[in-house]
Structure 1
Amino acid sequence: MIFVASGQSQVAGPEGIPHLDKIVHTGVFGLLATLVIRVFYSFAARIRSAVLTVVIVSGYGVFDEFRQSFTPGRSVEIADWVADTAGAVVAASLYAFVPAWRSLLEARPARRGARGSASDARSSGAVAEARR
């Protein structure tokens, strides 16, 4: 998504919101950092995982800005790279150092519509037992 969008001459977005592009950079690169840290994360090496994630994502931000210099209608902005790096720092720090945030991201969604499994039979029996 980032690679394709940064290769466009113009990126669609609402007009009149100051610094919206920096907010978008921060959010998108924060999401990228969340995906990257989930690959490298080790609780025993949280700081190393977070630093490695920030280096990778920030490096991609530099590459992205350099690549934009070859796209007509686009320009290189150091402020964009700063926003990219800030998003990576916030996301990697939340994941590495806030257990509730990590648990929220790692939570498995409840299965819906699964019928006929042994666990469904047990849980429905427990519900019936509780109603008595």
Structure 2
Amino acid sequence: MNIHRLSLVLAVLWMGVLFWLSHQPSLDAPSLFSGQDKLFHAGAYGLLGILLLGAMRPDFSGYTGNQALFVAFVASVYGISDEFHQSFIPGRSPEVLDWVADSTGALLAALLLAHLTRTYSTRAS
């Protein structure tokens, strides 16, 4: 299995984990600071952004900004569906700021990976 297919499989599995987590009535995590849940959202969707971008084929100089934007869009749409899903789970509710954190995490992670691949590709040439 090549790296792109593996990344796609891992992305789908991670989406399943995110679905399962959002299906739980509550997630008990110690509160260390205000807004930490937004950081968790950004991190979880940042990982999704990286996995989705890894499923794509880079051009000769690495991943493009357009690929990163597309991946962020896909992750953002998944984030919307996840928040909608939570509206049916007792003890959970959809939150716009959670979706913003999801989308931001996916966008920043995908853009960072695209930048790193282009930087590395340029230096290797």
Q: What is the TM-score when the length of structure 2 is the normalising length?
A: 0.75
- Which residue identity does 1:76 align to in structure 2? P
Q: Could you tell me which residue of structure 2 aligns to residue 54 of structure 1?
A: 72
Rg larger for: 1
* Root-mean-square deviation (Å): 2.0
Partner of 2:112: 94
Aligned-pair identity in percent equals: 38
Partner secondary structure for residue 74 of structure 2: helix
- 28, 40, 45: which one aligns with 2:56: 40
Structure 2 residues not aligned, in runs of 5+? 1-16
- Is the 1:54–1:89 contact (alpha carbons within 8 Å) kept by the matching residues of 2? yes
1:14 equivalent to 2:38? Answer no
Query: Any unmatched runs of 5+ in structure 1?
Result: 104-132
Greater relative contact order (CA < 8 Å, ≥ 6 in sequence)? 2
Is the Cα contact below 8 Å between 1:37 and 1:50 reproduced in 2? Answer: yes
Q: Give the letter for the 1:21 counterpart.
A: D
Give the match for residue 82 of structure 1.
100
Query: CA contact under 8 A between 1:94 and 1:102: conserved in structure 2?
Result: no
TM-score (ref. length: structure 1): 0.71
Runs of 4+ in structure 1 off by over 6 angstroms are 100-103
Question: When the two structures are aligned, how many residues end up with a matched partner?
Answer: 103
For the Cα contact (< 8 Å) 1:7–1:68, is it kept in 2? yes
Query: Which letter does structure 1 place at the counterpart of 2:30?
Result: P
